[in-house]
Amino acid sequence: MANRDQLADDSQLLTSFPDPSERSPLIKDGNKECFPCVSARFFLAFMAFLGFVNVYCLRVNLSVAIVKMVNTTGLADNDTVTNECPGDVDNSTTSSSQGEFHWDETTQGVVLGSFFYGYITTQIPGGWLAEKIGGRRLFGYGILCTSVLTLLTPIVARWSLPGLIVLRIVEGIGEGVTFPSMHAMFGVWSPLLERSKLASLAYSGAQMGTVISLPISGFLCDSDLAGGWPSVFYVFGSLGCVWVIAWLLLIHDTPGQHPRISKAERNHIEESIGKKENLKTPWKSILTCGPLWGIAAGHFASNWGMYSMLTCLPTYMKQILKFNIKKVS
């Protein structure tokens, strides 16, 4: 009787477990995240951060390099002499730059500003393109275009001044799509309550790129690597190309296309964002919105000051204040 009861208990215990065919591992190979303890959306924001570091390194490096590129002793215009600072000159520098290009101040201004002629043209089209072809490819290809052209900058500069101006305009066109394409990426990757956090992480790369590129550019210009100032473009252009390869291999347009995202994270993102609806853009309401124009005016003023400082201050500090290239950067 006891044996019969024991067999019944064992039979009940066995039937309480699911059939082996119905079992599934706790972590499936297809649902592993990119890295342990790091979500796919956070990794996207981190890669975007590195991308914007490259964007601003590629953007501002010429501002420092041009100080070593221009030969101020060969200029017919004496403004750089009569307007120089009357104070003590840094003993570690000479009173003039022995660069290989005889560009006056107006020409230097055109070269430095030509980037923004192209940059402004792709701001709005960049958002439309991101919706059509995906933010991942547009962001990556935009930086790839700028990186390749940066590698060609020393060659083109020695070949033709108009060619250099055109090259910088095309660089601006390539970088003009970066912010719009990243807006589109966060639109499909970031839950609503996390969007500000992830965007702040990604866009802070712009400030970081500016901070690190200026002193590195000064160091490279003052070195013997690849002839001095050309190394600035070779180093940052190469780093940009390496980043693009990593971006295109590791990042995907949507959570549904990501092969390594966890199922829980994918569901969380898709449920938070919801189904996308094709709504008509209210252009009239946008263009007549007072707060929008207030933001635009503030952004215009902020960028005017920042880019004026980034593009013109290194030349001013070198030619007028007579700082050496390392102090300039």
Residue 237, class by beta-carbon neighbours within 10 Å (0-12 exposed, 13-18 middle, 19+ buried)? buried
**Residue 93: pLDDT band by 50, 70, 90 thresholds?**
very low
* Tens digits of residue pLDDT in 119-142: 999 988 888 898 888 899 999 999
Domain ranges of the chain: 45-273+303-328
Please tell me the predicted confidence (pLDDT) of residue 215: 87
Contact status, residue 65 vs residue 232, Cβ threshold 8 Å:
yes
Three-class secondary structure of residue 318 per DSSP:
helix
**Residue 75: pLDDT over 70:** no
- CATH code of the domain occupying 45-273+303-328: 1.20.1250.20
Cα–Cα distance, 152 to 143 (Å, whole number): 14
**Residue 108: pLDDT band by 50, 70, 90 thresholds?**
confident
Cα–Cα distance, 176 to 158 (Å, whole number): 26
Q: Please list the alpha-helical segments (H only) found in 261-289.
A: 263-273, 283-287
Cα–Cα distance, 147 to 236 (Å, whole number): 7
Percent of the chain with pLDDT over 90: 35
Q: Higher confidence at residue 31 or residue 237?
A: 237
**Residue 173: pLDDT over 90:** yes
**Residue 323: pLDDT over 80:** no
Rounded to a whole number of angstroms, the distance between the first and last alpha carbons of the chain is 93
Cα–Cα distance, 66 to 217 (Å, whole number): 10
Q: Any idea what DSSP says for residue 289?
A: -
Please tell me the predicted confidence (pLDDT) of residue 137: 93
* Tens digits of residue pLDDT in 16-30: 444 444 443 433 444
Please tell me the predicted confidence (pLDDT) of residue 47: 95
Q: Higher confidence at residue 144 or residue 194?
A: 144
Please tell me the predicted confidence (pLDDT) of residue 267: 87
pTM of the model: 0.78
**Residue 156: pLDDT over 90:** yes
Please tell me the predicted confidence (pLDDT) of residue 73: 64
**Residue 149: pLDDT over 90:** yes
Half-sphere exposure of 69 (CA within 13 A, CB side): 29
Cα–Cα distance, 70 to 101 (Å, whole number): 5
Which residues are paired to 132 by β-bridges?
none
Average pLDDT, the chain: 80
Please tell me the predicted confidence (pLDDT) of residue 119: 92
Q: Any idea what DSSP says for residue 18?
A: P
Contact status, residue 314 vs residue 329, Cβ threshold 8 Å:
yes
Q: Higher confidence at residue 101 or residue 277?
A: 101
